[in-house]
Chains A and B, each alone.
Chain A
Amino acid sequence: MLKCVSRALNLAGRLANKPLSASARAVRAPPARPFTRSIWMMCGGDRPALLGSRAALPSVSCGCGGLHTEGDKAFGEFLKDEIKEEKKIQKNQALPKMSGGWELELNGTEAKLTQSLSGDKVTVTFNINNSIPPNLEETEQQGQKPGENEPEIVSTPNFVVEVTKKSGKHSLVFDCNFPEDEVGHGEGEEESDIFAIREVSFQPVGEEDWKETSYTLNTDSLDWALYDHLMDFLADRGVDNTFADELSELSTALEHQEYIKFLEELDSFVKCN
């Protein structure tokens, strides 16, 4: 019954978020519509050569002066279906609420959560761009029906927590992330904390850019006891595992909302509406 995970846990805790891979977004595409069909649709019924010259492309005029091809038309139809599918799986139009007194402010893909606790102002910011980790497992098995056991897309953005004391000149800034596990995708025991602190520094209040000259504490080689105190410090200010879970839910909903918005804009752009 040997089950020793401490070394693995330590390793996993050190992993930084990896950049978004193309496979992550590909998961979003409805499995019923494989890639080959998209290519086929663009080709049209009479199968013109894919490498044909521009002059050979059939065009449709709409009076805007821009180029419109049969491919654009197929693209528009594809987007229409995609938007319909995405809206169907969208759990809720409204964004999920965060527990506690957090106020949400949105600026494009960036979200800011703020609350005041007995004089301490706590601000959490994150960006939904590149917040979906690559899927490490096989997405679809041979012979699997479309939509069966499809992995759910979850957004786990890096986030920054700023704690500012009343009349303080500096904020204590925590750079946090959702660690990805190198192991533990099987039985689920070998995992990292739900969220982790990567760096800590002091930054002047109210300044847009961080000062590179400020000392930055990296948690990679930190005394564990100090790390635990920092985690408790955040928990006392409402940033704990529950918060991290809710932030991920919020970010997932926001990301999906922005994705649909992007598809709609893309559809509109392609159609030249």
Chain B
Amino acid sequence: MGVVLRNLQTVVPVRRARLRRDVETLRHILGIQKFDLGLICVDNRRIQRINNIYRKKDSPTDVLSFPFYEDLRPGKLPCALHRDELNLGDVFLGVEYLMHQCSDTSQDLHGALTVVTAHGICHLLGYRHETEEEWKEMLQKESYILTEFNRLTGSRLVPLTKRCTEEKANLK
């Protein structure tokens, strides 16, 4: 099945083919092509609701991940036995939130979507950033992914974890 892409919002025009191509590149870099992955584009209202339900934070955000495997060791791929288990989980992209962020910083929206998707997939693979040590590990992984992505596509993307820390923003 691969990447299941859903666009549930009307606020931001999302180029589906571009988003899929970029996510496929990320999957290739991470070697997770055999795993299914859900990618859902939502507006502020919906991501705020999900954020409130699952994280008790009543505000919109840029990305929320829901891993299929909750106790993965970072960087270790799950040993799936059945076809149904070849699934990493879902990443909700707050495209409206990101669009506002991009217009404030004159960033390209689809570049930002790739960055937050890479961040979200890292969470699906067991990476966390609750402690300093976890944060370093996750930043390292994101940096690797985006360096490879930049090399393959000629982009100049920067990891989200790095920016989060620089801006002292909420941890996702």
Residues of A within 8 A of B (CB): 1-7, 9-10, 13, 187-189, 191-194, 224-225, 228-229, 231-232, 235, 240-242, 245
Contacts and interface: CB of A to CB of B under 8 A. Distances in A.
B70 interface: yes
Interface in B2-60: 2-10, 13, 15-17, 19-21, 24, 36-38, 40, 46, 49-50, 53-54
A191 B42 CA distance: 11
Interface of B: 1-10, 13, 15-17, 19-21, 24, 36-38, 40, 46, 49-50, 53-54, 66-68, 70, 84, 87, 89-90, 92
A232 B68 CA distance: 29
Contact of B66 (A1, A187, A194): A1
B24 to A, nearest CB: 8
A225 B21 CA distance: 8
A2 B67 contact: yes
* Binding site secondary structure of chain B: mixed
Given A6-B87, A188-B46, A232-B15, A224 B53 contact: no
Contact of B10 (A4, A7, A241): A241
A141 to B, nearest CB: 23
B3 to A, nearest CB: 7
A243 to B, nearest CB: 9
17 contacts: A1-B54, A2-B89, A3-B90, A4-B67, A5-B66, A6-B36, A7-B87, A9-B4, A10-B4, A188-B46, A188-B49, A189-B40, A189-B50, A192-B6, A225-B17, A225-B20, A228-B16
A4 B38 contact: yes
Nearest to B38: A6
A248 B17 CA distance: 25
A48 to B, nearest CB: 56
Nearest to B36: A6
Contacts of B24: 225
Contacts of B8: 191, 193-194
Contacts of B70: 1-2
A221 to B, nearest CB: 11
A251 to B, nearest CB: 16
A242 B10 contact: yes
B140 to A, nearest CB: 24
A5 B37 CA distance: 9
A27 B157 CA distance: 52
8 smallest CB-CB distances across A and B, nearest first, come from A6-B38, A3-B66, A228-B16, A228-B17, A241-B10, A6-B4, A242-B10, A4-B68
A3 B17 contact: no
Given A6-B90, A188-B49, A224 B54 contact: no
Contact of A6 (B13, B37, B50, B53): B37
Contacts of A225: 17, 20-21, 24
